[in-house]
Structure 1
Amino acid sequence: MTSPRDRALRLRDAAKEDPDAVNPDRVLELLRYPERPVQRVASEAFLLLLTEHPSVGTSAVERIAYLLRQTDPETAAERDAAVEFMETLLLCLARIATADPERVYTARQEVLDVLEELEGPLAAPASVCLVQFVEADPLPLVAHVDRFTALLDADDPTVRRNAAHILLQLASSHPSAVEPSLPTLRRRLTDSDTETAKKAAVVLGLAARGSPDEVASSVPALADALDAEDRGVRANAAGALADIATGQPEPVAAYTETLVANLSDEAAPVRRNATAALSRLADAETDLEGLAHGALIELLDDPNSTVRATACRALGNMGSPVALELLRSIAAEDEADTVRWAARRALEDQ
C-alpha cells in the first residue's frame, strides 16, 4: 500500500510535469494529513499548482494559516526544515492572493507574526503576501506602520521594496498614517535598490496631504534626489516636490534653481514633473520671472507633448505678457490636442 508521503511525492512530481493533470483536491487532502513530512511535500505540490491556477487554492487558506501557527521547531535541525516549509506556505498564500486577496486576507495575522523576525529568511515571502493584502484593504494594516517602517532597513532589497510599496498603498488612502515612516523614507531615497528609492519618493509626496508640516522636512532630501543617477528616482522626487508645493510652497521655492536645472533633463518625466513643481510655485504667487520664465518658454518646443502641456499650465500661472502671447499661438498651432487644450485652459484662467 502506498504511504501518504509517497502519494505526495508522486503528486509533486506530476505537478512539475503538468499541473493541469493533478487534482488539487488530492493535494489538499494530503496537506491536511497530520504528519509534517507529508504536509511539506504536499505544500510543494500545491505551490506548483497555484503557479498556473491560483484560484484553486482559496479553500486551503484556513489550513495554510493553521499550519503557519503550528510550525514551531524545537531543534536547530528542525528549524531549517520548518523555515523551508513556512516559506512554501507563504508563497502559496501570495499566489492565492493574486486570485482572491480578500479570502487570503483572513490569514494576515499569521503573516504579520512571521515578520517579528525582520531579517529572517521568511521576511521576503511574508512581505510579498502583505503587498497583496494592502492592495485588497489597506485600513487594517495602518496599525502596523511601525513594522513596515522597520522593514525599510532590511538587508534584503526585496523586503525593502515591498515595504516601500506597502507604505505607498497606505499613503494613497491614509496619508497621515505614514508620518512615523518619513525619516526612514528620506534615507531610502538613496537606496541601492532603485525601486525602493522611487517608491520612497512617491510616499513622501503623498504624505503631504496628511502631514504637511512634517513633510516640509523632506524637501532637502528630495531636492538632492533630483541628482540621482536613476531617471525614475529623479522623476519621482520632482513629482513629490510638486505635491508638497501644493500646500507648502515656501520650502520648495528655496530649490527653484535646482528645479529649473532639471527642465533640461534627458528624461521627459523629469522635465514634466519639474515643470509641474514650478507651476505649483507660480500658482502660489512665487516670483519665478527671473529664474524660470525663459526655461519654461523653451519647453513649449519640447518633443514630448506632456511636457509642453505642463509648461503651458506653468506659464499660464506666471501670467507674463510674453508667455500669454506664446500660449495664444500654441492654442492655435500645436500639433497635439492635449497641448492646445492646456494652452486654451491656461488662457481662460487669466
Structure 2
Amino acid sequence: MEKAVKSQIGVSSRLSVAPMMDWTDRHCRYLHRLLSGQALLYTEMVTSPALVRGGALHLLDHDVAEHPVALQLGGSDPVELAQAARLGAQAGYDEINLNVGCPSDRVQSGTFGAVLMRSPAVVADCVKAMCDAVDVEITVKCRIGVDDQDPSEVLPEFLARIVGAGCERVTIHARKAWLKGLSPKENRDIPPLDYELVQSMKGLFPNLHISINGGIDTLEQARGFLDAGLDGVMIGRAAYHQPCDILSAADPMIFGVGEVTTAEQAVHAMLPYIEAHMSAGGRLNQVTRHMMGLFAGRPGARAWRRTLSENATKPGAGPELLLAAMDQVTALAQQGEAV
C-alpha cells in the first residue's frame, strides 16, 4: 500500500462510525458522508461465505462519495477470508476489517465474531492470510474478552498475536462479550466498560493504532480520548440516532478542517441521491429510515420523524416529502415546540 493512502485512512480513523447491522448500509453511509467529509465509515458486517460461496457481490455496492470507507468481514477460515478480502479490494474499499466482536448466536454458530477472542492463533492466521492477499490495510475490531476470561491477560496476548500477523490498526470495544445469557443488545449495555484497560494497551503497543469503542456518545468524549493518547474513537448508536450531534461538527472539531454541516443542508444534498435511487427502482423509505434522527434534540424533531415514518411508504411519495417535513420543522421551531 502506498504510504500516502495508508496515512490518510489513519487520519480519518481519528473518528469512525461503527459497523452496525441493518443500519450502516450504503444509504446511511451516503448521508453520514454529507455530514462529515473526514470520518471513516464502515459497512455492515458481510460474511466471507456470503461473498465467496454465495456470490453475493451486491453486498459490496457503495457510492464513490462514501470514501474513505471500510468493509467489515465476518469469518474464521483464512483462505476464504483472503478471497473475500480480494473481492473487497477489487470493489474499491479503503480498508478491510475483521469482526472479532459480534456476540450474536448466529455469528457464534459460524465460529466467528466475539467467540474468536478465545482463538487468537486462528485470528492471527486470518489476519496474515488477508494481509498477504491484498495491499489494502487489514484491521481488526474486537472486545476486551469474553465470558470468564480475564481481559488484562487475554487482551495483550490477543493484540500481540494480530500485530505479529501484520495488523497495524485495531478498534477495541471496551466491554467483554457474554456469549451465553445476554442478547446482542444487552451485550452493548450490560457488561461494564473498561476504558482504562484499553488506554493501557497504548503503552504496551505504542506503534499500534488503537481506536476505542463503546458507550461514547459525544464529540467532547471523543476529544478526551484523543487528548489522552488514543489514536481514534469509534462511535456507534449515537452517530446513527443523533447524526448531526456527532458528525456535523466532526470535521472542524476532530480533524481541524471544514465547517459545520447543518441538517437542512444535508436534506437538500440528499434530494438528488434520493431521486436517482428511486429512478433506479428503489423505494423512498429505504433512504429516509436512516434520516429520522437528523433533527434530534431540536424543536420540530417529532414532526419530522412522524411525517417521514407515516408517509415515506405511501404510493407516490418522493423527495418532496422531505421538503414538506422540513417546512414543519421550521414552523414548529418558530413556535418553540418541544422535541
- TM-score (norm. length: structure 2): 0.30
Bigger helix share: 1
Bigger strand share: 2
Q: Which has the higher contact order (CA 8 A, sep 6+)?
A: 2
If you compute each CA radius of gyration, which structure gives the higher value, 1 or 2? 1
- TM-score (norm. length: structure 1): 0.29
